[in-house]
């Protein structure tokens, strides 16, 4: 050994690391080695540089930081000898990636090596004398020139693997020259070496054109000559480069299509018919790699061009029929061939051939082959659905395969294959399989089943039946949208309410741990509990069941006590209980006890609801039945529209400009409960900022602050209002008796008019003004309801403004009545009155408004969404604008009105800037 040497040999280090029993030991060894390598680096040690780099590469592979070795790579590359350069380049490719700046330094070194070699090659071509080249090359076998060839190889390899855009630009001309240096006379002995460099240069070019696409055109001509090559390596890489050029440039594609299609077809023919060649033989097939590349290039050339496609028909048919399919190599070629047939221009004969091949693949016992068949059939569906449908049974079997990759592919394929005619048997199969499938596959499977069922159900009962099968199996995997949609469908199927609630009752007995099943069941029992116990609405297929009122309450009691279920579910349970307390008077006391148990809940939401509900049951027997009326039918179109609408609102607020704000306050998806419980569900949206404030919605009590403050405050104010209501209600019988009146009014008009609106229209505008403006609205409301209503005239409350025409078009007029409270000059109350100027009725009328950032806008629900024609009625909607820059800027507003006229969607937009200046 060299007496100056330090450290261990590479082999010893690897052995030492392998011998380590714990990670800590390994770290210690690596640390020691790294320290000695660092020392060597700082000493600029020459002799062991390559060994140190080899060690570093090993350490790097183990995942330790090795950045300090990067410069060592460069030093080794700059060294004169081949061994140093070789390891230097290897280290370069491993330790660096293209984003690191050190790489810039490499460029010079690379250039130098190649230029040297090029000079030599160009010299030899000029003389065009085979003998001279041969002599040159053979004589150089043992001297520097020989090593130089390999060094060029190293350089090209490194360039191809890691070059950056800058390097690509710098070195492109050299690589391009190397590509072109192909003397057709140079054959035999030395052609291997030279071909190897041409091939390397071609692959290098791929990297270059991918990094710098504008260089593509420089390579088009050299490639054409590469495609005429006999040498497989060169041909292979030439084709690959050609494919990449076609991807980058339409012109190149056109050029190759004209110039090379026929030639390539001939090359493929030669390869297919070539005799046994041991060098390229793989399982009895001559060079499958070349086959595949040729087929791929033909696909690119044939796609979208009838002539080119025509030209390759014969050879594709030959490949498809003649290729042996008992080995992987043959199947790889067939696979590629099928793909080419599918994407070139239509030839029905070939397509039949291709689909047949896939059918054979599908019944193959090798999983790999089945996998690619499924993959390919997905593409074939768009081309020939019928042909794929024929294999449906086999595909369905693949969904049940033990291999996760195959299952996934098959499921996606089945999803594509489902249509109206086969949805029922396919869904049955999938649901049956759901019972036995792996846990980790259930999520995908459930999502697909739900999507199929929702999209293609022939009728409501089938839809509900399928969902009733899915929920007990995989309720924990069902997404929120899915069960929301299910509830919307259930409410719409009025003849199925009894059937549904009974089925759910049966299902929850056995599968009480499936979250979404519990939610849907609890909701339905709350709504349709009376139908459950009395077997109302029996279908012919149903067996009558005996459920007592106590049984129904049991179910909910069990659910609310189950700790695995989340807050939303338990909150739903509480609401269901409140509803049942009215539906089942005999259980009222028991329900009250259950509700009371949540009074001590640590979850604020549950605690609060529990207290509220308890007090409703205890003190307000008379209003309770009205409070918990069955929910009105949810409108399917509105529901799906709202799903889209709330998404739109979220998007627009995230942009900072609330241009598309829908009526009312935008709801977030996190408050689904409100959606479902919101009594005024027909209205586009009730004002609500917190998911739990449903009672507030229910009564449509609004405080001026609730919609605009943060998330905690509205809850508080909601409670306050409620408590106000309740505390006022009990001591004063007079007021208490008036409360049901309010609610009965609201009930009658529930479908179109909110409680508030009907109330105000009944009493007159004066109360309404004071009500909406007041700081303690309930107080005002109840005071205003007294036996002798001393309604304060609105004039006392603030300055008066004349009504203004805010917007007028040929079809529509919008009037604004403005009012203000002296205590809060920033806040303007607007009552918008919409009048239809045409003679036709407008339906689905929605008014939207947006304001600049310094304003805050709050829209209350409109009085309706149908606007009769010829001015025979109007819609009113209240708005409340808070001007944070009051006195400095005046109000402006952008509006959008959408409605349906004879079923056609209409949209009007405008800007209102004629507000009085001091608002």
Partner 1 sequence: IHFVLLISRQGKVRLTKWYSPYSQKERSKVIRELSGMILTRGPKLCNFVEWRGFKVVYKRYASLYFCMCINQEDNELEILEIIHHYVEILDRYFGSAYYILDEVLIAGELQESSKKTVARLVAPQDSLVEAAKEEANSISNIIAQATK
For position 150 contacting partner 1 by CB under 8 A, the verdict is: yes
**Residues 174, 336, 465, 614: which binds partner 1 (CB under 8 A)?**
336
For position 147 contacting partner 1 by CB under 8 A, the verdict is: yes
Query: Shortest Cβ distance from residue 97 to partner 1 (Å)?
Result: 5
For position 406 contacting partner 1 by CB under 8 A, the verdict is: yes
Strand ranges, E, within 14-166: none
**Residues 168, 196, 490, 781: which binds partner 1 (CB under 8 A)?**
196
Q: Which of residues 337-366 bind partner 1 (CB under 8 A)?
A: 339, 366
Query: Shortest Cβ distance from residue 378 to partner 1 (Å)?
Result: 10
How many of the other CB atoms lie within 10 Å of CB of 53?
28
Residue 270: exposure state from Cβ atoms within 10 A (0-12, 13-18, ≥19): exposed
Query: Shortest Cβ distance from residue 25 to partner 1 (Å)?
Result: 15
**Residues 86, 497, 820, 878: which binds partner 1 (CB under 8 A)?**
86
CA atoms within 13 A on the CB side of 303: 14
Ramachandran sector of residue 557 (left: φ over 0; alpha: ψ -120 to 50; beta: rest)? alpha
Query: Shortest Cβ distance from residue 328 to partner 1 (Å)?
Result: 6
Residue owning tokens 């399919």 = 325
Residues linked to residue 592 through DSSP beta bridges, in sequence order: none
**Residues 130, 280, 441, 801: which binds partner 1 (CB under 8 A)?**
280
For position 328 contacting partner 1 by CB under 8 A, the verdict is: yes
**Residues 71, 404, 644, 647: which binds partner 1 (CB under 8 A)?**
404
Q: Give the residue among 399, 435, 440 at the shortest CA–CA distance from 417.
A: 399
Residue owning tokens 């006229």 = 901
Q: Give the residue among 911, 893, 834 at the shortest CA–CA distance from 868.
A: 834
* Structure token digits, residue 243: 């494919």
- Cβ contact 7:36 at 8 Å: yes
- Total residues at the site for partner 1 (CB under 8 A)? 69
Compute the distance between CA of residue 753 and CA of residue 744 in angstroms, rounded to an integer.
12
Q: What is the x/- site pattern for partner 1, positions 640-669, by CB under 8 A?
A: ------------------------------
For position 304 contacting partner 1 by CB under 8 A, the verdict is: no
- Cβ contact 227:242 at 8 Å: yes
Query: Shortest Cβ distance from residue 665 to partner 1 (Å)?
Result: 38
Q: Give the residue among 350, 358, 367 at the shortest CA–CA distance from 389.
A: 358
Q: Which stretch binds partner 1 (CB under 8 A): 87-95, 213-221, 470-478, 911-919?
A: 87-95
Residues linked to residue 876 through DSSP beta bridges, in sequence order: 833
For position 403 contacting partner 1 by CB under 8 A, the verdict is: yes
Three-state SS annotation for 394-412: HHHHHHCCCCHHHHHHHHH
Q: Which stretch binds partner 1 (CB under 8 A): 56-64, 169-177, 495-503, 883-891?
A: 56-64
Beta strands 824-836 and 812-821 are antiparallel
Query: Shortest Cβ distance from residue 414 to partner 1 (Å)?
Result: 17
For position 279 contacting partner 1 by CB under 8 A, the verdict is: yes
Compute the distance between CA of residue 416 and CA of residue 598 in angstroms, rounded to an integer.
48
Q: Which is nearer to partner 1, 189 or 561 (CB)?
A: 189
Rounded to 5°, angle at Cα 825 from 822 and 830: 95
For position 156 contacting partner 1 by CB under 8 A, the verdict is: yes
683: helix, strand or coil = coil
What is the DSSP annotation of 479-505?
-HHHHHHHHHHHHH-GGGHHHHHHHHH
Compute the distance between CA of residue 79 and CA of residue 451 in angstroms, rounded to an integer.
64
Query: Shortest Cβ distance from residue 908 to partner 1 (Å)?
Result: 44
User: Any idea what DSSP says for residue 97?
Assistant: -
Q: Which is nearer to partner 1, 297 or 555 (CB)?
A: 297
Query: Shortest Cβ distance from residue 874 to partner 1 (Å)?
Result: 54
Query: Shortest Cβ distance from residue 278 to partner 1 (Å)?
Result: 8
- Cβ contact 664:861 at 8 Å: yes
Compute the distance between CA of residue 445 and CA of residue 450 in angstroms, rounded to an integer.
9
For position 82 contacting partner 1 by CB under 8 A, the verdict is: yes
Compute the distance between CA of residue 891 and CA of residue 533 in angstroms, rounded to an integer.
57
**Residues 16, 20, 29, 93: which binds partner 1 (CB under 8 A)?**
93
Query: Shortest Cβ distance from residue 685 to partner 1 (Å)?
Result: 37
Q: Which is nearer to partner 1, 282 or 611 (CB)?
A: 282
User: Any idea what DSSP says for residue 421?
Assistant: T
Query: Shortest Cβ distance from residue 24 to partner 1 (Å)?
Result: 17
For position 331 contacting partner 1 by CB under 8 A, the verdict is: yes
For position 83 contacting partner 1 by CB under 8 A, the verdict is: yes
**Residues 332, 396, 426, 445: which binds partner 1 (CB under 8 A)?**
332
Compute the distance between CA of residue 236 and CA of residue 242 in angstroms, rounded to an integer.
10
For position 161 contacting partner 1 by CB under 8 A, the verdict is: yes
Q: Which stretch binds partner 1 (CB under 8 A): 62-70, 530-538, 594-602, 766-774?
A: 62-70
* Structure token digits, residue 259: 């110039």
Q: Give the residue among 745, 798, 815 at the shortest CA–CA distance from 756.
A: 745
Q: Which is nearer to partner 1, 69 or 736 (CB)?
A: 69
Q: What is the x/- site pattern for partner 1, positions 174-193, by CB under 8 A?
A: ------------------xx
Four-CA torsion 270, 276, 281, 286, nearest 10 degrees: 20
Compute the distance between CA of residue 564 and CA of residue 571 in angstroms, rounded to an integer.
14
For position 99 contacting partner 1 by CB under 8 A, the verdict is: yes
Q: Which is nearer to partner 1, 331 or 880 (CB)?
A: 331
For position 172 contacting partner 1 by CB under 8 A, the verdict is: no
Compute the distance between CA of residue 723 and CA of residue 778 in angstroms, rounded to an integer.
10
Query: Shortest Cβ distance from residue 829 to partner 1 (Å)?
Result: 53
For position 394 contacting partner 1 by CB under 8 A, the verdict is: no
**Residues 56, 76, 90, 242: which binds partner 1 (CB under 8 A)?**
90
Tell how far CA 380 is from the center of its chain. 25
**Residues 2, 44, 348, 788: which binds partner 1 (CB under 8 A)?**
2
Q: Give the residue among 276, 283, 279 at the shortest CA–CA distance from 233.
A: 279
For position 157 contacting partner 1 by CB under 8 A, the verdict is: yes
For position 160 contacting partner 1 by CB under 8 A, the verdict is: yes
For position 21 contacting partner 1 by CB under 8 A, the verdict is: no
**Residues 148, 221, 405, 650: which binds partner 1 (CB under 8 A)?**
405
* Structure token digits, residue 225: 């000559």
**Residues 124, 200, 323, 882: which binds partner 1 (CB under 8 A)?**
200
Q: Which of residues 201-260 bind partner 1 (CB under 8 A)?
A: 203-204, 206-207, 232-233, 236-237, 240
Residue owning tokens 């190397």 = 178
* Structure token digits, residue 175: 């690589």
Binding site for partner 1 (CB under 8 A): 2-3, 47, 61-63, 65, 81-83, 86, 90, 93-94, 97-99, 147, 150, 153, 156-157, 160-161, 192-193, 196, 199-200, 203-204, 206-207, 232-233, 236-237, 240, 279-280, 282, 287-290, 292-293, 296, 328-329, 331-332, 335-336, 339, 366-372, 375, 402-406, 408
């Amino acid at each position: 050994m060299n007496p100056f040497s330090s450290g261990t040999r590479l082999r010893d280090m690897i052995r030492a690391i392998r011998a380590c029993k714990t990670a800590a030991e390994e770290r210690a060894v690596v640390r020691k080695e790294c320290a000695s390598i660092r020392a060597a680096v700082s000493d600029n040690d020459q002799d062991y540089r390559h060994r140190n780099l080899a060690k570093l590469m090993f350490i790097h592979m183990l995942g330790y930081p090795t950045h300090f070795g990067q410069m060592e790579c460069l030093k080794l590359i700059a060294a004169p000898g081949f061994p140093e350069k070789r390891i230097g380049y290897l280290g370069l490719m491993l330790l660096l990636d293209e984003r690191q700046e050190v790489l810039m330094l490499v460029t010079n070194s690379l250039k130098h090596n190649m230029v040297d070699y090029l000079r030599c090659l160009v010299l030899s071509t000029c003389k065009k004398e085979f003998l001279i080249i041969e002599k040159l090359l053979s004589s150089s076998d043992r001297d520097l020139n020989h090593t130089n060839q390999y060094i060029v190889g190293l350089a090209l390899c490194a360039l191809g693997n890691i070059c950056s855009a800058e390097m690509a630009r710098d070195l492109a001309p050299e690589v391009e020259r190397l590509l072109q240096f192909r003397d057709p006379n140079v054959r035999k002995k030395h052609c291997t070496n030279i071909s190897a460099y041409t091939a390397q240069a071609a692959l290098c070019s791929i990297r270059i054109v991918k990094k710098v696409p504008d260089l593509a055109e420089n390579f088009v001509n050299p490639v054409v000559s590469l495609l005429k090559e006999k040498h497989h390596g060169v041909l292979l890489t030439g084709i690959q480069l050609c494919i990449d050029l076609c991807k980058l440039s339409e012109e190149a594609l056109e050029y190759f299509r004209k110039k090379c299609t026929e030639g390539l077809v001939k090359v493929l023919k030669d390869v297919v018919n070539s005799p046994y060649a041991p060098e390229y033989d793989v399982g009895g097939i001559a060079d499958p790699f070349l086959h595949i590349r040729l087929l791929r290039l033909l696909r690119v050339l044939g796609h979208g061009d009838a002539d080119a496609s025509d030209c390759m028909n014969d050879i594709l048919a030959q490949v498809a029929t003649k290729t042996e399919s008992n080995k992987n190599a043959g199947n790889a070629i067939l696979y590629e061939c099928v793909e080419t047939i599918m994407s070139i221009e239509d030839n029905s004969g070939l397509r039949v051939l291709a689909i047949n091949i896939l059918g054979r693949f599908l019944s193959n016992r090798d999983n790999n082959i089945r996998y690619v068949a499924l993959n390919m059939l997905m593409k074939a569906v768009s081309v020939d659905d019928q042909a794929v449908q024929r294999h449906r049974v086999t595909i369905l079997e693949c969904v049940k395969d033990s291999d996760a990759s195959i299952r996934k592919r098959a499921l996606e394929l089945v999803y594509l294959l489902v249509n109206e005619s086969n949805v029922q048997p396919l869904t049955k199969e999938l649901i049956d399989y759901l019972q036995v499938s792996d846990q980790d596959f259930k999520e995908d499977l459930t999502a697909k089943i739900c999507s199929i069922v929702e999209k293609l159900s022939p009728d409501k009962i089938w839809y509900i039946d399928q969902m009733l099968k899915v929920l007990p199996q995989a309720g924990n995997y069902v997404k929120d949208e899915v069960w929301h949609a299910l509830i919307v469908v259930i409410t719409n199927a009025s003849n199925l309410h009894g059937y549904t609630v009974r089925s759910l009752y049966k299902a929850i007995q056995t599968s009480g741990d499936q979250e979404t099943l519990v939610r849907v069941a609890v909701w339905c029992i709350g709504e349709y509990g009376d139908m459950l116990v009395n077997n109302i609405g029996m279908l012919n297929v149903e067996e009558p069941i005996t459920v007592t009122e106590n049984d129904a309450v049991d179910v909910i009691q069990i659910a609310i006590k189950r700790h695995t279920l989340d807050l939303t579910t338990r909150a739903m349970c509480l609401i269901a209980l409140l509803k049942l307390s009215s539906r089942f008077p005999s259980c009222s006391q028991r329900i009250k006890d259950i509700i009371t148990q949540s009074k001590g809940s640590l979850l604020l939401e549950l605690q609060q609801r529990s207290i509220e509900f308890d007090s409703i049951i205890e003190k307000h027997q008379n209003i309770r039945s009205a409070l918990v009326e069955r929910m009105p039918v949810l409108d399917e179109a509105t529901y799906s529209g709202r799903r889209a609408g709330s998404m739109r609102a979220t998007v627009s607020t995230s942009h900072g400009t609330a241009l598309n704000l829908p009526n009312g306050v935008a709801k977030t998806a996190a408050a689904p409960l409100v959606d479902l419980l919101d009594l005024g569900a027909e209205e586009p949206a009730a004002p609500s900022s917190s998911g739990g404030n449903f009672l507030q919605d229910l009564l449509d009590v609004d405080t001026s602050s609730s919609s605009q403050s943060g998330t905690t405050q509205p809850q508080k104010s909601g409670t306050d209002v409620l408590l106000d209501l309740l505390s006022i209600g009990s001591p004063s019988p007079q007021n208490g008796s008036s409360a049901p009146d309010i609610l009965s009014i609201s009930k009658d008009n529930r479908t179109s008019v909110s409680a508030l609106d009907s109330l105000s229209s009944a009493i007159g505008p004066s109360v309404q003004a004071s009500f909406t403006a007041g700081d303690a609205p309930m107080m005002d409301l109840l005071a205003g309801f007294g036996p002798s209503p001393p309604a304060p005239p609105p004039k006392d409350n603030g300055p008066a403004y004349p009504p203004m025409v805010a917007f007028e078009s040929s079809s529509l007029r919008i009037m604004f009545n403005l009012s203000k409270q002296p205590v809060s000059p920033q806040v303007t109350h607007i009552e918008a009155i919409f009048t239809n100027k045409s003679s036709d009725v407008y339906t689905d009328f929605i008014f939207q408004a947006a304001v600049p950032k310094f304003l805050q806008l709050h829209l209350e629900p409109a009085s309706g969404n149908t606007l009769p024609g010829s001015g025979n009625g109007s819609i009113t909607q209240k708005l409340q604008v808070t001007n944070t820059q009051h006195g400095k800027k005046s109000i402006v507003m952008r509006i959008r009105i959408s409605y349906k006229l004879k079923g056609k969607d209409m949209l009007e937009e405008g800007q209102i800037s004629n507000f009085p200046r001091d608002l």
